[in-house]
Structures are given as C-alpha cells and as structure tokens.
Structure 1
Amino acid sequence: MKRFLTGYCRLLDGLMGLALLLMVVLVFGNVVLRYAFNSGVTESEEISRWLFVWLTFLGAVVALHHNEHLGTDMLVSRLPAAGKKVCLVLGHALMLYICWLLLQGAWQQAGINWEAQAPVTGWSMGLFYGAGVFFALSAGVILLHNLWRLLSGQLQANELVMVKESEEQAELEALQAELARQAAPRPHQAARGREA
C-alpha cells in the first residue's frame, strides 16, 4: 500500500507540474495577446482559476502523504511514545471526521451544481467542486493507511510526530539526517578499519 501511495503521489506531482505549466502559459499568453495584439483568450482566466484550485488540493494530498503540513508539536514531541501514539490516533480520527464532512459537502455541491455552467467556458461547475471530493477521498485513504501502520506497529518512533513546527525546523532535521548518513562508516570502510 505504501508503494501504491508513493506512486499515486508521484502521479499527482506530475499533474501539479502540468497544471502549473498550463497556468503560466494561459496567463502569460493572455497578457502578451492583450498588450501586443489588443486581443485575448477569454477562457484563460477561468481555466487558470480552476487549475489553481485543483493544484491546491493536489498539493495538499501530496503534503499529507509526506507529512509536510505545518503544525504545533511543542507538546506532542515531549510526550513518551505511548502519549504520542494516543495523540496520533486522536488527531487522525479528527482529520478523518473532517474529511467525511468535506466529502459530504463537496459531493452535495458537485451534485447541486452539475447542471450549472461556468460563465465563460460553459463547463459544469460540478467539476470545480469535484476538487473537494477528490481531496477528501485521497486524504481519507492516506489517513487510514497511517492509522493502520500505527496500530499494526509499522510506524517507527521518529514518525509518531507527523507535523513540523516550522519549515526551517524540517529543513534542519533533513540536513542533520543527511550529515549523519555521510558521517556513518560504510560497510567496506568498517571492514578495512577492523583489518588494520
């Protein structure tokens, strides 16, 4: 399942890159058309707005999978392992409930607005609200997988706190881990040290 989620998030990364590229082309192209040729593509603004909404929800799914959402770990990081596990279960249960609420609301909005057309493109407004449905389902699967890993004992101690206090702290920890990997003796180096 972990391999599936990793591949799924790689696919989402590609879709985010494509969405970002399309947004840049549409917006920049429209600016050039307006200033250079006194014309433009009327659909570009609406499509860019929709892409931005979908890009945000895609990014939130990927960030959830990689535990990159910011949060406050001041209390949880000081708890013993059992306390961290209890907080993780409670936090995931609350997030699953919020995903359920988001799924219900987005599903209802998508259904209500399915026949409504966007003003410029004429596309169904249900597609716009579908981003919430997509996020709620994807996030729910990731949260359930994390809970399963915790309850089955597959989570390691360093994974029990799944938020970071700040981006700088996350970068510092990644740098420290990289330095520790570089400082650790490699197997063939350790064997040479024993022979000498």
Structure 2
Amino acid sequence: MQFVIAACLAAMLVLVFGNVVLRYAFNTGIPVSDELSRLLFVWMVFLGAAVTLFEQAHLGVDTLVRRLSRKGRIVCFALSNLLMLYTTWLVFSGTWQQFGINLGMTTPVMGISQAWFFVPVLIFTALAAAWFCLSLLRSLSGRMSDDELIGVRESEEDFDITQMPPGDARPR
C-alpha cells in the first residue's frame, strides 16, 4: 500500500510541477492536471490513514490507561474500539450516500464520475472496521499484551532498528 501512496505523491509532483513549468514557460498547461492531482491526493490521504492505523502510529494520551489494571485496560481498549467502530460506521454510511448522489455526476475536465473521490473513503472505512473488530476480538479473548492495550508509542527512538526488514526505514 505504501508503494501506491508513493506513486500518488510522485504523480502529483510531476503533474503539478509540469503544469507550473508549462504555464510560465510556454503559456500552456495540462488540462487534467488539477483534477487528477486532487483525486490522487484524496486517495493518498485515505490510504495513508489506513497504513497509519495498521502500524498503530496514531497519536494518543496514555496517562490514565497506564495507571489501570489489565482488566481496566481491556475495558478502556474495548470501549475506545467500539466508539471508533461506531464513528467508522457513521463515516461509511455518510460516504455511501454521497457516493450514490455523485455517481451520475462527472468531473468537468476528465469526465469521470465524481464518485471516484469517495471510493478511497469507502475502502478506508471497510479496512478500519475490520481492524477494529479484530482488535476487539483479540482484546476480549486475552490475546493482547499490555503494551498493545495501551497502544501509544513514546518516541520513535524506542524502537529496535535491528527488528526492521532490510531497506525499511520505518519504525515497527
């Protein structure tokens, strides 16, 4: 998924930079540049949100949860995942309605359906819902460590670089 995100970013860079150069140097441009860059940006943001969720790289405050017993941590983890699952449902249902509304509308230049701007949100919410359900099942069955129940990383420096696959610069 990270390759797709990088490809979106690279394509956006080429499209926008190329369009700027063409406009200023040759008084012309690429007509689809703006629309395609916007579409790629939406895809990049929601795919990036999915990667962040799977890597548990989100922000959090653990002041209260660290002081709780394991049972208290499980209860807090389950409640927070249920709330996030509900929020994911709200985003999915609203996006699904917008998808239906915009299905017959086309973009002015590219002529593709406006619904393509909502597809990455639908993909993200489906992946996020699956992630929250699996996390709930793992926590309620007792198959999560205390660190996973807290789910907050203090710093990127806390990671052992030897545990990363070769060529991977991301913390795990």
Q: Match of 2:155?
A: 170
Identify the structure with the greater helix proportion.
1
Aligned partners of 2:74 and 2:140 also within 8 Å: no
Any residues of structure 2 matched to 1:19-34 within 5 Å, and which?
Answer: 19-34=8-23
Output the TM-score relative to the length of structure 1: 0.78
Q: Which runs of 5+ in 2 are unaligned?
A: 164-172
- Paired residues, what number? 163
Is residue 115 from structure 1 mapped to residue 104 from structure 2 by the alignment? yes
Pick from 118, 121, 125: which aligns with 1:129?
118
Superposed displacement of residue 178, structure 1: 5.1
Q: Match of 1:52?
A: 41
Is residue 14 from structure 1 mapped to residue 8 from structure 2 by the alignment? no
Instruction: State the AA in 1 paired with 2:79.
Output: L
- Fraction of identical pairs, as percent: 44
Pick from 123, 144, 163: which aligns with 1:155?
144
Q: Which runs of 5+ in 1 are unaligned?
A: 1-11, 182-196
Query: Counterparts of 2:109 and 2:152 in 1: how far apart (Å)?
Result: 40
Q: Match of 2:26?
A: 37
Pick from 54, 63, 80: which aligns with 1:91?
80
Query: Counterparts of 1:81 and 1:63 in 2: how far apart (Å)?
Result: 25
Query: Counterparts of 1:129 and 1:178 in 2: how far apart (Å)?
Result: 37
Q: Match of 1:64?
A: 53
Q: What secondary structure is seen at the aligned counterpart in 2 of 1:160?
A: helix
Instruction: State the AA in 2 paired with 1:88.
Output: F
Aligned partners of 2:95 and 2:121 also within 8 Å: yes
